[in-house]
Amino acid sequence: MHKNTIAEVCQNLANGDYSSKELCQHLLERISRFNQSHNAFIEVSADAALSSAEAADQLRAKGANAPLLGVPIAHKDIFCTEGIRTSCGSRMLENFVPPYNATVVEKFNAAGTICLGKTNMDEFAMGSSNENSYFGSVANPWDTDRVPGGSSGGSAAAVAARLVPATTGTDTGGSIRQPAAFCGITGIKPTYGRVSRYGMIAFASSLDQGGPMATTAEDCALLLEAMSGFDERDSTCIDRPVERYIDAIDQSLNGLKVGLPREYFSAELSAPIAAALQQAIEALQKLGATFVDIDLKNQSLAVPAYYVVAPAECSSNLSRFDGVRYGHRCESPVDLEDLYKRSRAEGFGREVKRRILIGTYALSAGYYDAYYIKAQKVRNLISQDFARAFEQVDVILGPTTPTTAFKHGENSDDPVAMYLNDIFTIPANLAGLPALSAPCGFVEGLPVGLQLVGNYFDEGRLLNIAHQYQQVTDWHRQIPAGVE
């Protein structure tokens, strides 16, 4: 059962091959078997899941046939879930039980999915290794000595270990795609504004976007449709009809024009990853795609620009955690200032504090123009690079990450080395473009991801390309030894 994709689960539930309750029970047993070693879940909501599964089975028996009815998923612990603790991987929100659901959660509930629990993540989604979680790091199922990527590391590991067929993630600078690549699964960051951010705890509001993580592109198509759509409670959410992504994925790739950015096939990319990508390029050529070299000449400025914009926005967003309204509060404060200072000093971890300091500095009166405004200008140049490229090609292909999953602790003392993990993923966030990562091979037993970046609202095409590629390859079907 646990090897089934979302599409297969939908089919099997509809056929009555097993019930939602049987499936959820089986997966919950796997979670309790593997969570000690993998730590992919922060919270497991077994009782609520089993009673919802039972209710879904009853609805089905009465003739209800919504495709996702009774399908188990798990949410990244950044999405507010009514009555279920939502920690955002932090000590600050260690005991926070939201009184409401995020729009994404609400949409999945309305579609009939069952939430098995909340997945581990870097504190406030800041990180590339999941090592910044207050709840401890997560093991990569392909090699438990290695990180699963971040910040949606728990979501990626849970899917890779087949503890749940799909999860939600969020991506501010790569947090869906980089862990998807490290764990050998498929994930898509939609166009900025496609998915509502309401109830998704804010990190950098102009970059944050939620999306699905699953084993296949087909599953991502089903889930993205369920979670997308206009929401008046998020002022940056776009009022535009949601596509039937599942209808888009079967199209032929004949005549597809793919751009290969010279800047992505550069010195930063490890040679074996480049070789895996070359094989993927050949597979796509056989499917009818043609390739041209393109330039994205300002790409090298993306990481520095991001590390001004994202901390600036985070310093503002995280100012709400002041020990007054909710979240961690220090013991016996002597006055208001002491309350603020100690609550925040105790409630935030090192990386979050580093970002708040950098962001506050970048936004301060004397440095605002030199850093923040400059970074916004660079952001514009990066968007223009993409706009020029999309006059020439339909989609851009490159690596998701410069290396495969690294060892726990390997980059912990060097924030810049950690930040450079996202050199290939950050540009799409700065431009607000949709981007997908799909498995395209292994290097020394560790998964490699290929990245597709599309034009605005071209999610259907990205899913189409990845799905066609997955019809002729089976990288996405591989399961790590030890969790079969």
| Structural contact between residues 43 and 30, judged by C-beta atoms closer than 8 angstroms | no
Residue placing its CB nearer to ligand GLN in the complex, 396 or 423: 423
Residue placing its CB nearer to ligand GLN in the complex, 2 or 355: 355
Is 196 a catalytic site residue? no
Is residue 166 within a helix (H) or strand (E), and if so which, with residue range?
strand 166-170
The CB-nearest residue to ligand GLN is 175
Among candidate residues 317, 323, 315, the one with its CA nearest the CA of residue 344: 323
- Structure-block tokens of residue 430: 């700065």
Catalytic residue among 129, 151, 315, 343, which?
A: 151
SS3 108: helix
Q: What is the nearest approach in angstroms of ligand GLN to the Cβ of residue 310?
A: 5
Q: What is the nearest approach in angstroms of ligand GLN to the Cβ of residue 83?
A: 25
Rg (CA), the chain: 21
Residue placing its CB nearer to ligand GLN in the complex, 77 or 243: 77
Is 19 a catalytic site residue? no
* Per-residue DSSP letter, 191: P
Backbone phi and psi for residue 261, each to the nearest 5 degrees, phi listed first: -70, 125
SS3 50: helix
| Structural contact between residues 120 and 135, judged by C-beta atoms closer than 8 angstroms | yes
- Structure-block tokens of residue 450: 């290929």
User: How far, in Å, CA of 173 to CA of 208, rounded?
Assistant: 8
Catalytic residue among 76, 107, 118, 189, which?
A: 76
Residue placing its CB nearer to ligand GLN in the complex, 298 or 425: 425
Q: What is the nearest approach in angstroms of ligand GLN to the Cβ of residue 426?
A: 7
331: exposed, middle or buried (Cβ count in 10 Å: 0-12, 13-18, 19+): exposed
Give contact residues for ligand GLN (rule: CB under 6 A).
Answer: 125-128, 151, 171-175, 203, 310, 422
SS3 396: strand
Residue 347 is which amino acid? G
Q: What is the nearest approach in angstroms of ligand GLN to the Cβ of residue 304?
A: 13
Name 409's Cβ contacts closer than 8 Å, sequence gap at least 6.
Answer: 131
Q: What is the nearest approach in angstroms of ligand GLN to the Cβ of residue 174?
A: 5
Is 297 a catalytic site residue? no
Q: What is the nearest approach in angstroms of ligand GLN to the Cβ of residue 234?
A: 17
Catalytic residue among 175, 196, 228, 343, which?
A: 175
Q: What is the nearest approach in angstroms of ligand GLN to the Cβ of residue 64?
A: 36
| Structural contact between residues 454 and 188, judged by C-beta atoms closer than 8 angstroms | no
206: exposed, middle or buried (Cβ count in 10 Å: 0-12, 13-18, 19+): middle
Residue placing its CB nearer to ligand GLN in the complex, 204 or 396: 204
* Per-residue DSSP letter, 421: G
Residue with the two structure tokens 């997908």: 436
Residue placing its CB nearer to ligand GLN in the complex, 227 or 249: 227
Residue placing its CB nearer to ligand GLN in the complex, 114 or 436: 436
Name 32's Cβ contacts closer than 8 Å, sequence gap at least 6.
Answer: 44
* Active site positions, annotated: 76, 151, 175
